[in-house]
A and B are shown apart, each in its own frame.
Chain A
Amino acid sequence: MAQLFSRGANAFARSSLIVGISLAVGTLLLAMKLDRSPAQTDEGVVLAQPVPFSHDHHTAVLGISCGYCHTSVEKSAFAGLPPTQTCMNCHKQIWKDSPMLEPVRASFRDNEPIQWNRVYDLPDFVYFNHSIHVAKGVGCETCHGPVNEMPLLYQAVSLQMNWCLDCHRNPEKYVRPKDEVYNMDWEWDPSLDPIEEGLKLVQEYDIKPQDTCSTCHR
């Protein structure tokens, strides 16, 4: 009777062990990697907007503070988007004929708000409140990144749940003095230990972030 298997069968069987295990592990790793990639999280993705508004120009160059436009950030869950009137405070005078700003003027004329595309879009099953974070010393930059260097706004972080929980579980790594919340360039004095200072602030501001399910999933 002829041999059942060819000479190469042993090599095939042995290599299938390595290939099989690598395929299984590789597929899992790839899936985990994809789940954390911008394709899934939109991290770093620039959204098209009706007007190419530059945070970089308005804050870093012109020196306008965050709170000038996002007025309700200290008082409510939503930081607030400025009404067209806020834009027109200046743009009645400067760049008043710029074709780029036509949607703004149109909005002002027709009394129709500009339809911005939301960059930081949390799922509807997540409760988030800006005011408490600002009140406890979480800087704008901590979540929104270097907005003062963004000609076009993008999502600076993954917004995945482990990102939220990282701060809720270790707030000392992220808090800053309350009066530095709007400062985009703030850093701890290099001579100080940031974790130690953070722990002091956590104590001082009575920061007790919850990480139970119902804190955010209400």
Chain B
Amino acid sequence: MAFGEQSPVGKGARAQASKTQAQMAKPPELPLVGAGHDNKSVTEEISGVVFGKTPLWWFGALAVSGAVMVMMLYAIIYLLFTGTGVWGLNIPVGWGFAIINFVWWIGIGHAGTLISAILLLLNQSWRTSINRFAEAMTLFAVACAGLFPILHTGRPWLAVYWLLPYPNTMGLWPQFRSPLIWDVFAVSTYFTISLLFWYVGLVPDLAAMRDRAKNRLAAKVYGVFSLGWRGSAAHWHNYESLYLLLAGISTPLVLSVHTVVSFDFSVGQLPGWHATIFPPYFVAGAIYAGFAMVLLLAIPLRVMFKLQDFITLRHLENMGKVTLATGMIVAYGYLVEVFMAFYSGNQYEAFMILNRITGPYQVQWWLLLLCNALAPQVLWVKSWRRSPLVLFLVSIVVSIGMWLERFIIVVTSLHRDFLPSSWGMYAGTKWDWALYIGTMGMFLTLFFLFIRFVPMISIFEMRTIVPDRKNLDEAPKGGA
């Protein structure tokens, strides 16, 4: 008898289960699990993705994303040997792709934390099948994000003392009054907590993998990482306390990290940056972009690995709703920006907005409105919200839109300096693009490795919601 096979349900999970039952009884809700599943079939199907034969497409996908990652490495090596002059950055636009891509990637990570922490604390049982890979997405996205500011320093090997406070022989400390150093703390805390949260949540599943592994080496590797988990009541007790604690720590991070990122801009006294709406507007944008990315990953995954029973239309629909809601907040942010520019009576603010609407980057600005404010409106229609194809397309459009948003914020405020003699234009060079697209290769490479070696859906948490499905199937029609 393998210990990892046992699935004692903790107190919290049981309360969560009974609450879900009440929700599930309402007829219009779609089920969270496909019909006919029990504990055994859940475990077998999810661990089967790892233990089954590697599908051919996986090798192809890994090869392509790996090749793109190699392009990124080449772009980094060329950058380090030549200098940041290979990028399109110059005065007046000293912050180009480096910060645009940083904010874009960091924002994407936020959905993972929101799903795993906030939805857990709010007892939203639909988080269960998507939290694991959304958390992995967070980690990989933050890793991609971190590359940009570090490379932007030009000499990353010296960046240790530029970024981290430690007693050095130069008697120097970072500038603690700068939001850039707050960023270092915010992002490194975020990464650490996300990693811990993800790993702690994995431990019971790794033990299940250990017990199911046919290969002795695989069993040993899973065994080391499952930290001696035997599924005893004491283990579950410790696990539940720690997981809730980490959820509590992560929850403020969902709000604080992108707030600090927005300070990078709003602390600077520049029209288009120096606005009090920035923190909430950035946080909403981050969750917006993040859910778009979760959808982008989930929709192909459920088809390729036949996981439609676990990542159901209900999950997709709920994520569509979050996307729509955060999209509306972001659209409100755009509205407030335009309003405040004129309400402030400040000629530079007014010029900044007019320049966005009619200036050299007007195409990007109008595209951004189209992508971020208009496109998600299709999600008001229930049948479209439940269509994976529509959701997939909207997610692509939103991801592009959120990148354009950061482009507009960074570039339009900088390229029209206060003195017309200092005006300039900005465009990324081929090295900018190689690095940006390359990080997508790194992200996907890490993600493909993740789905091959780690159960991408939380097995033991899925088991906690299986009984609800059974009750639903056995309940008389018309509600419990």
Contact check, A4 vs B219: say whether CB atoms are below 8 A apart: yes
Contact pick for B170, options A5, A9, A13, A161, CB 8 Å:
A161
Contact check, A162 vs B223: say whether CB atoms are below 8 A apart: no
Q: Does B360 contact A (CB under 8 A)?
A: no
Interface residues of chain B: helix, strand, loop or mixed (majority): loop
Interface string of B163-206 (1 = CB under 8 A from A): 00001111110000000000000000000000000000000000
Q: Does B228 contact A (CB under 8 A)?
A: yes
Chain B residues whose CB sits within 8 angstroms of the CB of A158 once the complex forms: 169
Contact check, B171 vs A162: say whether CB atoms are below 8 A apart: yes
Smallest CB separation, B359 vs chain A (Å): 37
Chain A residues whose CB sits within 8 angstroms of the CB of B121 once the complex forms: none
Contact check, A13 vs B171: say whether CB atoms are below 8 A apart: no
A9 to B210, CA, bound (A): 16
Chain A residues whose CB sits within 8 angstroms of the CB of B61 once the complex forms: none
Contact check, A4 vs B170: say whether CB atoms are below 8 A apart: no
Smallest CB separation, A143 vs chain B (Å): 16
A161 to B173, CA, bound (A): 12
In residues 1-33 of chain A, which contact B (Cβ within 8 Å)?
4-5, 9-10, 13, 32
How many interface contacts (CB-CB < 8 Å) are there between A and B?
Answer: 32
Contact pick for A162, options B170, B210, B220, CB 8 Å:
B170
Q: Does A196 contact B (CB under 8 A)?
A: no
Contact check, B228 vs A10: say whether CB atoms are below 8 A apart: yes
Interface residues of chain A: helix, strand, loop or mixed (majority): helix
Given contacts A13-B227, A13-B228, whether A32 and B220 have CB atoms under 8 Å apart is no
Task: Report the count of interface residues on B (CB-CB < 8 A).
Answer: 14
Q: Does A36 contact B (CB under 8 A)?
A: yes
Q: Does A48 contact B (CB under 8 A)?
A: no
A13 to B23, CA, bound (A): 44
Contact check, A160 vs B170: say whether CB atoms are below 8 A apart: yes
Contact check, B219 vs A162: say whether CB atoms are below 8 A apart: no
Smallest CB separation, B205 vs chain A (Å): 17
Contact check, B227 vs A161: say whether CB atoms are below 8 A apart: no
A165 to B167, CA, bound (A): 13
A92 to B167, CA, bound (A): 53
Chain B residues whose CB sits within 8 angstroms of the CB of A13 once the complex forms: 224, 227-228
Chain B residues whose CB sits within 8 angstroms of the CB of A32 once the complex forms: 167
Most chain A CB inside 10 Å of its own CB: which residue of B171, B216, B219: B171
Chain A residues whose CB sits within 8 angstroms of the CB of B224 once the complex forms: 13
- Of all chain B residues, the one with the shortest Cβ separation from A161 is B170
- Of all chain B residues, the one with the shortest Cβ separation from A41 is B169
In residues 106-163 of chain A, which contact B (Cβ within 8 Å)?
158, 160-162
- Of all chain B residues, the one with the shortest Cβ separation from A158 is B169
Chain B residues whose CB sits within 8 angstroms of the CB of A102 once the complex forms: none
Q: Does A166 contact B (CB under 8 A)?
A: yes
Contact check, A160 vs B169: say whether CB atoms are below 8 A apart: yes
Contact check, A165 vs B169: say whether CB atoms are below 8 A apart: no
Smallest CB separation, B203 vs chain A (Å): 13
Contact check, B169 vs A35: say whether CB atoms are below 8 A apart: yes
Contact check, A161 vs B223: say whether CB atoms are below 8 A apart: no
Smallest CB separation, B241 vs chain A (Å): 20
Chain B residues whose CB sits within 8 angstroms of the CB of A164 once the complex forms: 171
Contact check, B228 vs A162: say whether CB atoms are below 8 A apart: no
Contact check, B171 vs A166: say whether CB atoms are below 8 A apart: yes
Most chain A CB inside 10 Å of its own CB: which residue of B167, B169, B172, B220: B169
Cross-chain pairs A/B with CB under 8 angstroms, 29 sampled:
A4-B210, A4-B216, A4-B219, A4-B220, A4-B223, A5-B220, A5-B223, A9-B228, A10-B228, A13-B227, A13-B228, A32-B167, A35-B169, A36-B169, A158-B169, A160-B170, A161-B169, A161-B170, A161-B171, A161-B172, A162-B168, A162-B169, A162-B170, A162-B172, A164-B171, A165-B170, A165-B171, A166-B171, A169-B171
- Write the residues of chain B forming the contact surface with A, with a CB cutoff of 8 angstroms: 167-172, 210, 216, 219-220, 223-224, 227-228
3 interchain residue pairs of minimum CB distance: A162-B171, A161-B170, A165-B171
